[in-house]
A and B are shown apart, each in its own frame.
Chain A
Amino acid sequence: MKIKYFAQISEWTGCTQEDFSHEEDPGMQISVRRVLAGLASRHGSIFQERIYNPASGNLQEDVFILLNGCHLARLQGLDTLAADQDVVAVIPVTEAG
């Protein structure tokens, strides 16, 4: 699947987008939680501190995620299953004026 990072998140990950797939079976669906855990492992401490920490299982409060343009909270949260053709967007909260 395609992971897209917006604004400062792309700086933390060092890329604006990257691919991710199930380790054993790329065609298999995988929860967004496991995707994030895999990405945290790939990117190390900065991802864990600023986006998602697998130990706590929580997203940082100033980050939200869309799966194919749909907010995860409208789906099954981090337990939502994502498939290989899906797009996961990781977006910073931007609400000052």
Chain B
Amino acid sequence: MKQMNGKQTPSDPRYSRQVGLPEIGPAGQLLLGQKRVLVIGAGGLGSPLLFALAGAGIGRITIVDSDTVSESNLNRQFLYRSADLGLPKARLAADRLREYHPDLSVVSVTELLTDKNAPELIASHDLVISAVDSLQSRLLINKYCCRYGRTLVDGGVSGFSGYAAVIEPGRTPCYHCLFGVRENTPSGPSGVLGSIAGIIGSLEATLAIILLLGLENPLDGEVLFFYAKDMSFERLKIMRDPDCPHCAASGQREAEQTK
């Protein structure tokens, strides 16, 4: 029996390789099956991370992407095929995940994330993963994750490099602390090696699963940078901005809650 009251069970043989891990076990698998994860962006980062989340048995996955499939996506967005050109990514991604794992609950949102829909979407999930392709989208996601105290896993890629970060509002620096005050915005899409998106997307999924299991945040305020041409991973400690308009208030809320 794979399902019980609409929820997955740890006894599903699909999970046998990970249930055997002491960090997961039947209790951890049950926990993953109860979690709701919001994935914003179903492109290069979203392709590997969505499959990884589905494979891990995350109970409910919501996919937000307003874009349609174009030919230039196909070097890295392996959720899609040549026959999908012009079709909405979020809907296709949800269909592919359901084919891959029919017991999951997968919801697609084909609207652009805005100030109007972001609050409800973010507040109604346990964890948010940013797999978007612009500073503005990341700042919007960060703003509402800070407001509603939702942990955010973020990643980005360019050329042969990428980064991953975990933002725990009120505890770690947020995206605004790190990048939000940048004055310059590069124009036009940057080139990227498809497999780099695979690496960073997989890192984002791994971080998300670790956090959903209640394990320690492996980055803890550091950003992890990857550069493929020398196969280096480097971490950099980031300082919180005490005057940050987003996470400084989260810190106060957390302090008030722990009084």
Contact = CB atoms under 8 A, between A and B. Distances in A.
A36 to B, nearest CB: 15
A61 B181 contact: no
A37 interface: no
Contacts of A70: 238-239, 241
A61 B227 contact: no
Interface residues of A, number: 26
A96 B225 contact: no
A30 interface: no
Interface stretch (A3-11, A21-29, A38-46, A47-55): A3-11
A78 to B, nearest CB: 11
A95 B183 contact: no
B239 A69 contact: yes
Interface stretch (B52-60, B116-124, B158-166): B158-166
Interface string B187-210: 101101000010000000000000
B156 A61 contact: no
Contacts of A71: 177-179, 181-182
B131 interface: yes
Contacts of B162: 94
Interface stretch (B40-48, B80-88, B92-100): B40-48
A91 B187 CA distance: 17
Given A71-B178, A73-B181, A93 B239 contact: no
Given A96-B133, A97-B46, A73 B182 contact: yes
B259 interface: no
Contacts of B155: 97
B134 A66 contact: no
Contacts of A16: 232, 234
B237 A69 contact: yes
Contacts of A97: 41, 43-46, 130-133, 155-157, 197
A96 B239 contact: no
A82 interface: no
B138 interface: yes
Q: Choose among A7, A74, A96 the residue with the greatest number of B CB atoms under 10 Å from its CB.
A: A96
B144 to A, nearest CB: 18
Interface string A54-97: 00000101101010111101100000000000000101111111
Q: Choose among A16, A70, A89, A94 the residue with the greatest number of B CB atoms under 10 Å from its CB.
A: A94
Q: Considering the complex of A and B, which 8 residue pairs feature the smallest CB-CB distances, nearest first?
A: A7-B161, A97-B133, A61-B184, A73-B181, A69-B239, A7-B227, A94-B158, A94-B156
Given A4-B234, A94-B157, A97-B157, 20 more contacts: A4-B236, A6-B234, A8-B159, A10-B230, A11-B230, A61-B184, A61-B185, A61-B186, A61-B187, A62-B186, A62-B190, A69-B236, A70-B238, A94-B225, A95-B134, A95-B138, A95-B156, A95-B158, A96-B189, A97-B131
Interface of A: 4, 6-8, 10-11, 16, 59, 61-62, 64, 66, 68-71, 73-74, 89, 91-97
Interface of B: 41, 43-46, 130-135, 138, 155-163, 173, 177-179, 181-187, 189-190, 192, 197, 225-227, 229-230, 232, 234, 236-239, 241
9 contacts: A6-B161, A6-B236, A7-B226, A70-B238, A91-B225, A92-B158, A95-B179, A97-B130, A97-B131
